[in-house]
């Protein structure tokens, strides 16, 4: 009986499914194989083959099972849509697989909520139902390989294996040299998700047009009132970031075509320009409204991007209109409030960093707005916990401090880290003094502060059991590290790049596991793969350590008795 259940990844979706007996290793292999074939067909321009393979993936049991697993394991799993439905139990998840059918599918309206933005405004967020999320997830499995194959090389937002750190490194590459361009168009698209043209998306996105049209026209419900949607793709949908990225793909290609690389020789694929035209500041027209300027380059993260140029007037009067024309076709426009041309000596903010040259040296530091946001968060948390025990203060503050420092540790941040540590110490000292107004400073130091590495007075209250101290995260002890930018042409769905991504993942996870020798050895021994499902164990998926022979039955903590699992796979293993 169990042997039959283990092959359920290949069974028809209409059959009876035991959620905990699904063979996830086989399901992952099936989907990865189809995605690799989609990449190959896309590179060859065989769009009929792409469509057939996408249909095969979206109707497969493996794809449906992985889609349900994704929407029931992410952070939004406890948030219901307009129907109030949640998939919490194995039975509900198994039944969901059988409900995922194209025929008769009609998405329900999204539940509209608003979340505050840094500028005081509110961002609309649309929450689909669980079934709609799962349907978006399975169609994304089929669309993502196409999106990655056709994407702009230097687009880094909402793409697998890429991050804001890659975008930061590309900006550094563009602007660090002394001969680098001195002017930057710091651009932002106004309401990108809210204003993308439905007509353009349906005509240009290579996926099931009927399904896509239903999602775009589903409407939203706010305060019990239904409102139709005539433009935009809702923020909150799983597939929405990919749709927005694909709408903006081609921007880099357009700029490279309009402002091609200059070459005084005649190398293949490059324009040959007379030497006099290379004079700094000279802008001339070249062939059919194509301008030459060697320093027009773009770095994009989702709808935030910068464009470099040698001349301010050229960026404002030539490059910017070309970008606006490109966006207009897609129903978009640049934000007049956030888009401006600035000199590199004045600097600009990008993705939470300030990019600026000081006496010819480029330094990328945490932006003042990012620092201010962190300060507000620390103040609000300490104020909220003014009557809470010390270990609770540490538990709430540490994720905030750790996340902020890990994001900025690739920049010039050491001095700012030290200032943040001083601010945190002052806030926690005042917290302790307020909590014990009748105690002296020495008593408070003994109770709440202790020596930790290089700091003799680190906030370290005892935990709930009183057996050991919980130390506050110190930013000053975070090492500034170099980040290796991903290769622009790398595609995680293309088997040709498999070895490259494995080396990259091993390097990243090894850094994360520094100081956890046994854990890193286990991960390397397993080649970074989960023994249960065969999927990669990454910092995003998380991991659990499993004892082959449980400690209750005499198993030890030696390396031969340990394995590293995905958290979900670990639960499934014990359930089985």
Choose the weakest-confidence range: 34-43, 311-320, 376-385. 311-320
Residue 203 has pLDDT above 50, yes or no: yes
Per-residue pLDDT tens for 139-156?
999 999 999 999 999 999
Residue 292 has pLDDT above 80, yes or no: no
What pLDDT, on the 0 to 100 scale, is given for residue 229?
87
How many Å apart are CA 491 and CA 506, to the nearest integer? 17
What pLDDT, on the 0 to 100 scale, is given for residue 1?
39
Residue 118 has pLDDT above 60, yes or no: yes
What pLDDT, on the 0 to 100 scale, is given for residue 273?
45
Per-residue pLDDT tens for 208-233?
999 999 999 999 888 888 888 888 88
What pLDDT, on the 0 to 100 scale, is given for residue 294?
60
Residue 5 has pLDDT above 50, yes or no: no
Q: Can you count the helices (H) and strands (E) in the chain? A: 21, 19
Residue of 510 and 410 predicted with greater confidence: 410
What pLDDT, on the 0 to 100 scale, is given for residue 336?
85
Residue 119 has pLDDT above 90, yes or no: no
**Residue 152: DSSP 8-state:** -
The number of residues making up the chain comes to 576
Q: Which residues pair with 350 in a beta bridge?
A: 353
Long-range contacts formed by 484-492: CB under 8 A, 24+ apart = 484/169, 485/165, 485/166, 485/169, 485/170, 485/173, 486/161, 486/162, 486/166, 488/153, 488/154, 489/153, 490/161, 491/39, 491/148, 491/149, 492/148, 492/160, 492/161
Residue 266 has pLDDT above 70, yes or no: no
Long-range contacts formed by 556-563: CB under 8 A, 24+ apart = 559/518, 559/521, 559/522, 562/518, 562/522, 563/522, 563/526, 563/531
Residue 59 has pLDDT above 70, yes or no: yes
Residue 465 has pLDDT above 80, yes or no: no
Mean pLDDT for 346-360 is 95
Q: How far is CA 270 from CA 264, 278, 437, 480, in A?
A: 9, 15, 74, 39
Percentage of the residues of the chain whose pLDDT score is greater than 70 = 85
Choose the weakest-confidence range: 165-174, 271-280, 400-409, 419-428. 271-280
What pLDDT, on the 0 to 100 scale, is given for residue 287?
45
Q: Supply the angle between the helices 130-150 and 209-216 in degrees, to the nearest 10.
A: 120
Mean pLDDT for 434-439 is 92
Residue 329 has pLDDT above 50, yes or no: yes
Mean pLDDT for 47-73 is 95
Q: How big is the CA angle at 383 (ends 379 and 388), to the nearest 5 degrees?
A: 130
Residue of 272 and 372 predicted with greater confidence: 372
Mean pLDDT for 425-437 is 94
Nearest C-alpha neighbor of 98 from the set 67, 129, 126: 67
For residue 574, which phi and psi values (nearest 5 degrees)?
-70, -35
Residue 7 has pLDDT above 70, yes or no: no
Per-residue pLDDT tens for 36-55?
999 999 999 999 999 999 99
Mean pLDDT for 105-122 is 82
- The alpha carbon of residue 304 and the mean position of all alpha carbons in its chain are separated, in whole angstroms, by 14
Residue 134 has pLDDT above 90, yes or no: yes
Mean of the per-residue pLDDT values of the chain = 85
Residue 512 has pLDDT above 90, yes or no: no
What pLDDT, on the 0 to 100 scale, is given for residue 27?
92
């Amino acid at each position: 009986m169990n042997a039959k259940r283990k092959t359920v990844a290949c069974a028809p979706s209409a059959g009876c499914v035991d959620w905990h007996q699904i063979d996830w290793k086989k399901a992952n292999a099936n989907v990865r194989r189809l995605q690799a074939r989609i990449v190959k067909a896309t590179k060859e321009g065989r769009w009929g083959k792409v469509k057939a393979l996408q249909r095969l993936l979206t109707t497969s049991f493996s794809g449906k099972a992985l889609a349900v697993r994704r929407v029931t394991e992410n952070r939004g799993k406890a948030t219901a849509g307009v129907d109030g439905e949640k998939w919490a139990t194995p039975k509900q998840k198994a039944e969901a697989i059988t409900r995922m059918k194209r025929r008769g599918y009609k998405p329900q309206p999204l539940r509209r909520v608003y979340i505050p933005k840094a500028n005081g405004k509110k961002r609309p967020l649309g929450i689909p139902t669980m079934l709609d999320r799962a349907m978006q997830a399975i169609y994304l499995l089929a669309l993502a390989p196409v999106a990655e194959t056709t994407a702009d090389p230097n687009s880094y937002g909402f793409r697998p294996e890429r991050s804001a750190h890659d975008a930061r490194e590309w900006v550094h590459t563009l602007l660090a040299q002394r001969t680098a361009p001195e002017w930057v168009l710091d651009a932002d698209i106004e309401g990108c998700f809210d204003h993308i043209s439905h007509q353009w998306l349906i005509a240009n996105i290579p996926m099931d047009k009927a399904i896509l049209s239903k999602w775009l026209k589903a409407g939203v419900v706010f305060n019990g009132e239904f409102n139709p949607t005539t433009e935009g793709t809702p923020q909150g949908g799983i597939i929405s970031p990919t749709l927005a990225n694909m709408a903006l793909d081609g921007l880099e290609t357009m700029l490279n075509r309009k402002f091609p690389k200059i070459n005084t020789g005649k190398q293949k694929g490059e324009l040959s320009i007379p030497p006099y035209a290379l004079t700094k500041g000279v802008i001339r027209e070249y062939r059919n409204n194509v301008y030459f300027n060697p320093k027009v380059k773009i770095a994009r993260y989702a709808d935030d991007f910068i464009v470099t140029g040698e001349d301010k007037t050229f960026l404002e009067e030539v490059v910017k209109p070309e970008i606006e024309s490109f966006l207009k076709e897609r129903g978009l426009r640049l934000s007049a409030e956030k888009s401006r041309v600035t000199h590199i000596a004045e600097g600009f903010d990008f993705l939470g960093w300030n990019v600026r040259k000081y006496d010819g040296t480029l330094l990328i530091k945490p932006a003042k707005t990012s620092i201010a946001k962190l300060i507000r968060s620390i103040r609000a948390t300490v104020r909220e916990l003014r009557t809470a025990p010390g270990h609770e203060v540490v538990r709430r503050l540490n994720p905030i401090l750790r996340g902020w420092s890990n994001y900025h540790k690739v920049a010039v941040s050491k001095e700012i880290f030290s200032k943040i540590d001083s601010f945190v110490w002052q806030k926690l000292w005042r917290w302790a003094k307020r909590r014990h107004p009748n105690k002296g400073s020495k008593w408070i130091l003994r109770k709440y502060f202790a020596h930790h590495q290089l700091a003799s007075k680190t906030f370290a209250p005892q935990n709930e059991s009183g057996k050991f101290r919980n130390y506050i995260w110190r930013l000053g002890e975070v090492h500034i590290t170099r980040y290796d930018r991903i290769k622009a042409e790398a595609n995680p769905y293309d088997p040709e790049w498999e070895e490259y991504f494995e080396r990259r993942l091993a390097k990243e996870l090894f850094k994360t596991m520094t100081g956890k020798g046994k854990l890193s050895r286990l991960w390397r021994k397993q080649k970074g793969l989960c023994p249960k499902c065969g999927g990669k164990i990454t910092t995003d998926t998380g991991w659990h350590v499993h004892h082959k022979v449980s400690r209750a039955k005499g198993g030890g903590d030696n390396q031969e008795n340990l394995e590293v699992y995905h958290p979900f796979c670990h639960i499934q293993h014990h359930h089985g």
